[in-house]
Amino acid sequence: MRLPRALLAVAVPALLLGGCATPVDPGEGGDVIPGGPGEPNAIAAAGVVVGQGTILQKDGEDAQLCLGPIMESYPPQCSGPVVVGWEWPDDGMWESASGVTWGSYAVSGTWNGVAFTPGEMIVPLALYDPMKTDPDPRTLPENAGTASEELLARAQEELSVWTEVPVLLSYPENGYLWATVTYDDGTIQAYLDELYGPDVIVVVSAFRDLPTP
């Protein structure tokens, strides 16, 4: 079956990022500095996580879970961590064209910092009822950040060339720069707080920890 095109993209204001270096110290001018000690690398999750996105598999290759924006071509184009041992469910909620198979799913599993291994829950996004959580208080007008637009723009530009932990997407909102990474246990947030100062960048994990019963 062919899915609605609206299900093929992440509905967030976003900037697709990639690059080759690390951000500069916001207190200093000059060029982008090379990598140094103390920078976080890919972080594994201790328990079960849930990811939401497009699973895409080219013929003869491993499936990937696209957690960031995708190109709405036909077939779509995106990339993400390998989904170990992925088998397409018999649910009619995916499609194939030109040697590519894809579908939008919420999937539980484990994340080792490099690859994702699916677990018991595999639900089409169109049918998924996400876990209800309270909104981040920093999205509320009364809790607006005080960072300047110049600092937020510069931080976004610098994160776009940060390869130690690639940023999937970022956007300024309510006085903060919101930056989505694959997974953070607090290490990336602490590092960016030290680099740019507190209450400048809000790190969001694409893989969300599944609460233990």
Q: Which residue has the tokens 């999750």?
A: 45
Residue 203 pLDDT more than 50?
yes
pLDDT for position 151: 97
What is the arithmetic mean of pLDDT over 26-32? Answer: 34
Structure tokens at 178: 């919101």
- Which of 7-16, 45-54, 119-128, 173-182 is the least confident region? 7-16
CB 174 within 8 A of CB 146: no
What is the SS3 assignment for 147?
Answer: coil
Taking each continuous run of H as one helix and of E as one strand, the counts in the chain are 2, 10
pLDDT for position 39: 65
Q: Which residues pair with 176 in a beta bridge?
A: 173
CB 166 within 8 A of CB 184: no
Least Cα distance to 160 among 170, 152, 150 occurs for 170
Structure tokens at 100: 């590519």
What is the arithmetic mean of pLDDT over 175-182? Answer: 97
Residue 205 pLDDT more than 60?
yes
pLDDT band at 163 (very low <50, low <70, confident <90, very high): confident
CA distance 85 to 71: 25
Q: Mean pLDDT score of the chain, rounded to an integer? A: 83
Give phi and psi for 75, each to the nearest 5. Answer: -75, 165
What is the arithmetic mean of pLDDT over 23-36? Answer: 36
Give phi and psi for 176, each to the nearest 5. Answer: -130, 160
Rg (CA), the chain: 18
106 or 36, which is more confident: 106
- Which of 58-62, 69-73, 131-135 is the least confident region? 131-135
pLDDT for position 112: 96
Q: How many residues does the chain have?
A: 213
Cα-Cα end-to-end distance for the chain: 36
Q: Which residues pair with 178 in a beta bridge?
A: 171, 202
pLDDT for position 60: 96
Helix intervals (H) in the chain: 149-159, 187-196
